[in-house]
A and B are shown apart, each in its own frame.
Chain A
Amino acid sequence: MKTIAACVFAAFAALPVSAQSASVSTSPGDPPGAAFRGFFVVTQQSFAASTTFDAIFGGSSQPFFGGGVQVTTPNGIFVEFGITHFSKTGQRAFVSNGQAFPLGIPLTATITPLELSVGYRFGATRWRLIPYAAGGFGRYDYKEESGFSADDENLNTHHIGYLVNGGVEVRLQKWIGIAADGQYTHVPGILGEGGVSQDAGETDLGGVAFRFKVIVGR
């Protein structure tokens, strides 16, 4: 955690430096210093807690939608802040010998990740195709509500998790780009204390995700 915080601090601290060098390395039309960009993201996440999500939703690959901002620098370092959202209604269930038995009682789970990452864009100022990699952490808000529940039988909590991702950005126009990447998140502390996840021994709310972004900005 401290390491990640130090990385984030270092990234922000590096901004003035990269801004200073921008005037040296950039080609005409590139931003002279740090640039702010917005993005929309669609994520298809394959949850690590596959038994749990299969039992409740009938599938462990689920979509998130969201957006965020990036701060890019001419020297390739970027910082990204994103917020996405997943909400779906499934059924409470019971799992026996690996088989899930849905019980017809509605359960709505809501996951809202707020993620902060720092990364590097390779050849950011020279290429139309820009590979990148990043790592960071996030606060993962989790809410679970079911029918026929007393207040203390629902759950509204959050926990810190960690992420790494890597992919490629394609500049379509001066102000528009798209990016596709794979992201791995590890979110302990929410699953595994009860419910199907406890039975299945699954403690990670994270997983592997394919993300597609539309980026607005240079």
Chain B
Amino acid sequence: MPRAFLRNCFLTLTIAAIATAVAGRVSLHGQAGAFRTFLPASILPPIDRGVVADTSHAPDTPQALVREGMRHSTVTLDRVGISGSSYIAGRVIVKFRGGMSTQSRVRAMSTVSPTASLPEQPSYANFDVIRIDPGENAEAVAAALRQRADVEYAQPAYRVRSTFVPNDQYYKELQWNLPLIDLERAWDIQPAAGSNIIVAVLDTGVSYTNTAVRVHANAFRDDQGTLYPSLGDLTLNFVAAPELAPVSRFVSPRDFIWNDNVPLDFDGHGTHVSGTVGQLTNNGLGMAGVAFNVKIMPVKVLDSTWDEIFNAPAFGTDDVVARGIRYAADNGANIINMSLGRTGDPAPVIEDAIKYAVGKGVFIAVAGGNSFEDGNPREVLAEIASRVQGAVSVAAVDPARQHAHYSTTGSYIELSAPGGTDRGFGNNGYVWQQTYDFTLTDTFLLPPSLYGPPRFDVLAYIGYVGTSQATPHVAGVAAMLMQQGIKNPAAVEAALEKFATDLGDKGRDNTFGYGLIEARNTLRGLGLAK
């Protein structure tokens, strides 16, 4: 009898312990439980593959086009609007004027869409994202809402994309981009390199922590219609990029694609951009970064191919980017780097968020766009930045300080920075940083027979090209300038523009803006007469 009692007690305790462990895991990771599960970290050290030569991470390379096409084919909610911009069907972003009750808002929506429903307002948003039937035309619904006096703005959930272009190593050997903006002498002035400053990187996430995550990889068809089979449930190991470590350097991480606080990078773009902002420097390893002591706030607002294959609950749309901006501003960011953008219709929801953030003292750098050779369309977010004192749009130059062939031009371009080129300079044309070895992550570029799970624990030094790469140079120099004493975002912008090296036509022009940023002169400021 006592033995049976003891056995029962043991069984009960064992079941209770297992239940507690499971419950603990779910609650620990909050909303992520429905889509992905984090596992106890028992991760091996990262594998460093050194410099990996690659020419695929530049605008308009075949691989870049495949990546972009793949994303569209894996998501069935993608629609193309009248202006050619793609948006996610089934939702409309709307900001009602102040003081409207929920009932009034529902009534207003019902006048323009019979299927409209109003979910709870998302976090870090002063707007609503109403749901409509995916078969309804979101642009038409938004247009009808805009006609109402009680609506401040309404727009579809336009997709936002990274403006980067990645590729391949070592400071003296490969980092032409940092001396080009006179950073070595700037570091003399400020060896602290932004240690009191927080830079929020709104991007695809960052490789910043060691963890393991369980996800489900759905089957999908690429843009040629080729079927890629489901990979089933996968356990993926993530490692913190050693050149961005330690983990304590990362503050207030947030993932608006998976709605949790673990913004893992399933792409590599955000990790690369973070490296340019602040890769560890003078440590005898790898590459250097601009403001190499800043704290980094990883805020994931862009989804990548793998996010979509893993059925992430949100996409990189205007509302998600706007929430990311507000989150960063509310959580202590001094600077926001937005190596992202889109063309097409206006983005009032993002404009509102940018003004909110700048009003809270946050300086924002926005990529100018990579579509010069694709009709040079107006970049919506960059154009917004040009109208806000304290936010800047950034074009790209190559190692010869010439216009980078892809860099969008327009009256909204304010500054230039090294973005690199895949034409004419070999490896010395790229902007290099540590990120994933894409040959092991982008397995969806392989034929279905070779397609397999990605690895996010193998890092390499990869060269990228794009205004995405130019933008973090500006964010980094802005961080150093803020540490030097200029905290006002409008003044940061004014200083960066004043001390820029004038390129192209005299004065501001549509190709280079006020010119190439000049880190040393910007930090040094002015004397009385000299």
- Chain A contact residues, CB within 8 Å of chain B: 49, 52-53, 55-56, 92-97, 99, 101-105, 107, 109, 142, 144, 146, 148, 153-155, 190-199
Residues of B within 8 A of A104 (CB): 484-485
- Interchain CB contact under 8 A, A96 and B528: no
Residues of B within 8 A of A53 (CB): 528
- Interchain CB contact under 8 A, A94 and B495: yes
Q: How large is the interface on B (under 10, 10 to 19, 20 to 34, 35 or more residues)?
A: 20 to 34
Query: With contacts A96-B488, A96-B495, A97-B490 known, is A105 near B528, CB below 8 A?
Result: no
- Interchain CB contact under 8 A, B494 and A194: no
- Interchain CB contact under 8 A, B528 and A191: yes
- Interchain CB contact under 8 A, A195 and B529: yes
Nearest 4 pairs of A and B residues by beta carbon: A96-B491, A103-B525, A96-B494, A92-B525
Q: Given known contacts A99-B491, A101-B525, A155-B529, what 19 new A-B pairs fall within 8 Å (CB)?
A: A56-B528, A93-B526, A94-B491, A94-B495, A94-B498, A94-B526, A96-B494, A107-B527, A144-B529, A148-B185, A153-B530, A154-B530, A192-B529, A193-B529, A194-B527, A194-B529, A195-B530, A196-B526, A196-B528
- Interchain CB contact under 8 A, B491 and A101: yes
Q: Determine how close the nearest CB of chain B comes to the CB of A158; give it in whole angstroms.
A: 12
- Interchain CB contact under 8 A, A94 and B525: yes
In chain B, what residue has the closest Cβ to A202?
Answer: B528
Bound-state Cα–Cα, A196 to B188, Å: 22
Residues of A within 8 A of B529 (CB): 142, 144, 155, 190-195, 197-198
30 A-B residue pairs with CB within 8 Å:
A49-B528, A52-B528, A56-B527, A56-B528, A93-B526, A94-B494, A94-B495, A95-B526, A96-B486, A96-B491, A96-B494, A96-B495, A101-B488, A101-B491, A101-B525, A103-B485, A103-B523, A104-B485, A105-B525, A107-B527, A144-B527, A144-B528, A144-B529, A144-B530, A148-B185, A191-B529, A192-B529, A195-B529, A195-B530, A196-B527
Pick from A97, A148, A198 the residue with the most CB of B within 10 Å. A148
Bound-state Cα–Cα, A2 to B494, Å: 44
Whether B148 is near chain A, meaning CB under 8 Å from some CB there, is no
Whether B66 is near chain A, meaning CB under 8 Å from some CB there, is no
Residues of B within 8 A of A99 (CB): 488, 491
Bound-state Cα–Cα, A155 to B527, Å: 10
Residues of B within 8 A of A154 (CB): 530
Residues of B within 8 A of A92 (CB): 524-527
Bound-state Cα–Cα, A198 to B525, Å: 13
- Interchain CB contact under 8 A, B490 and A148: no
Q: Which of B495, B498, B524 contacts A105 (CB 8 A)?
A: B524
| Per-residue contact bits, chain B 183-208, to A (CB 8 Å; 1 contact, 0 not) | 00100110000000000000000000
